[in-house]
Structure formats: structure tokens, C-alpha cells
Copies of this chain bind each other. A is one copy, B any other.
Amino acid sequence: MLSRMASSTRSVDRTLKLLTDLADPDQGKSLSDLARASQLPPSTALRLLAALVDSGFASRDVDGGYHPGHRLIQIGAAALREDSVHEHSGPHLMEIAHDTGETANLGIQIEGERVLYLRQVASPRLIQGVGWVGRSIPMTGTAMGAALTGDVDASGYAWTEGSVEPDVVAVAAPVRGASGGIIAALSVLAPSYRTDRAKIEEIGACLVEHCRALSEGLGAIDDRKAVAA
């Protein structure tokens, strides 16, 4: 691993890595956890985390554990607000969740090879435990990934079974921006046992229709340049 001859900014790179780990829901949040995840000596991790705490990017609870800080929440909220897709998808997601009775999601492509769940409206009747917002899944083999690459059937949607989780059907359709390119995807996740072929078609039609409306709204409003680069 003698990589990174990029620009000689070790402490900064390390701190940003720590910051990323800090926001990762799957990670432990103790000093040693974070130090180990970043392959740093505890003393170094401690100092860098202290800098994050000083700046409000992290906070510590009484047990000494680290959490995302208020500044991170502030910046995140501001960044999301600048994302017009996120902004306008809200009502559509709610309608989709209502009409299909299943969980509706908004996803975008990040880092070229993954899908980030940006927003989620849970099935109205089902009290759903897991939230996927902020997590990412691979592009390949998933309905979201197919939709984001434009790999959809004649009706305009893609679907898979068991790709994200076992016994779950995923249906997805692409959202297009003002430039015509695909900038996001809407999807629905539903348990396999209550999802037959007819249901999938119904969901697909619903998604395609809402994606069309959402794309139209986005095209009319603004062309945010570097939002999903």
C-alpha cells in the first residue's frame, strides 16, 4: 500500500477517512474501533478525532463513544437541500408508497460503481425496521443499478429478486435531468411472497409514471451540474 503520492496531506486524508467511518451506520463508534478501521495508532486517531470534535463534526457521549456532530448534520442538510432531485422526490415517494403499499426509495449513483439510497418512504402499513438511507449497494445485479444505467425493459423499468436481500423483489425506473441523462432512480422493495408477476407490472407502471413526472419537474426547474458527478 505505498499508494497516495497524490498531494501529501496525510493528516487531512486520515481525518476525512475517520469522518467517513464515523457516519457509517455499520461501524462501531469507540476510539479503538475507529482507529482500527482506519489503521491508525490510537494516539493519532485520538488527536484527529479531537479536532473533529472541536469543529463540531463529531461529538462524544458520556461513555466516550463518538457520534456525528451537529455540524455534520447541518452540512448534510444543506447539501441535501441543494440537491434538487432529493427535494422534489418527496411527494412522489409518498404517493408510490401509498399506491403500491410497499417501501419506496430514491437512489443515485456514487463513486461510479455503487448506488446510494438517498431517501426512503416506508410502506404505510408495515412498520419497517431497517432504514437504508445513507447506505449503498452495488450497481451490478440490482434493479437500481440497472435503472441507473438505462438497462430497462420495453415498459421502462427493471426488476430483480433477491439481489439486495433474500426474498425481496426490487423494481426500479430511471429519473432524467434537464440534459436528458439519467441522474437518479426510484425503486420499490417488496417481499417476494406477496409479489407476483402482475404486482410487479403494476409497481413498474407506477414507478415509470412517477419518474416521468419527476423528470419533467426537474427539467423545468434547474440543471444542477455537479450534483451526481
Contact = CB atoms under 8 A, between A and B. Distances in A.
A182 B11 CA distance: 37
Contact of A56 (B8, B51, B111): B111
**How many copies of this chain are found per oligomer?**
2
Contacts of A19: 75
A9 B51 contact: yes
B73 A7 contact: no
**Max chain B CB contacts within 10 Å: which of A7, A12, A62, A83?**
A12
A126 interface: no
A51 B119 CA distance: 28
A153 interface: no
Given A25-B82, A67-B225, A70-B228, 5 more contacts: A16-B51, A61-B226, A67-B226, A74-B136, A77-B134
- Nearest 7 interchain pairs by C-beta: A76-B76, A78-B134, A23-B75, A70-B110, A68-B79, A61-B226, A77-B134
